[in-house]
Homo-oligomer: A and B are copies of this chain.
Amino acid sequence: MAVTKLLSDAEVEKIPVAKAVFDDIRATRKSDFVNNFWRGLANDPALLKRTWDQVKVVMATESAIDPLTKEMIYIAVSTANGCSYCVHSHTAAARAKGLTDAQHGELASIIGLAGQTNHLVTAMQIPVDPEFEVK
């Protein structure tokens, strides 16, 4: 561990707000496994609850973007931000939602290409074409 304790199930059991979130995570995901992110957040039960509520609304409900695409977008952001934990957890989530090897390779290709053109644009300081502006 690093700068915060990861709470065990026994420790979470004693914090009602955290316990309720852990129960909901398990029920929503139909799995007993609760990953370290939530165990770290459990040190601040209100933050844990706010974060889970958001994840549930944004990632888990019916919506205009399908679940696998959501995970690929999440991996893309996490990669650009250099969050190793997040790349691991969301790649696992994407795999669980059907990400194939071919899609994973393509996802890496797109992320890599975007990383390259982002850097080229910034190195050259390209101004935005008026055609791209929303009026």
Which A positions have Cβ atoms within 8 angstroms of B?
1-6, 33, 35-37, 40-41, 43-44, 46-47, 50-51, 54-55, 57-59, 63-65, 69-70, 72-89, 91-92, 100-129, 131-135
Contacts and interface: CB of A to CB of B under 8 A. Distances in A.
Contacts of A3: 87-88, 91-92, 123-125, 132, 134
B112 A116 contact: yes
Contact of A80 (B33, B70, B76): B76
A103 B43 CA distance: 11
A118 B57 CA distance: 18
A123 B88 contact: no
A100 B63 CA distance: 12
B82 A83 contact: yes
B64 A106 contact: yes
Nearest to A45: B105
This chain: copies in complex: 6
A91 B124 CA distance: 9
A91 to B, nearest CB: 4
A72 to B, nearest CB: 6
Contact of A4 (B63, B75, B104): B104
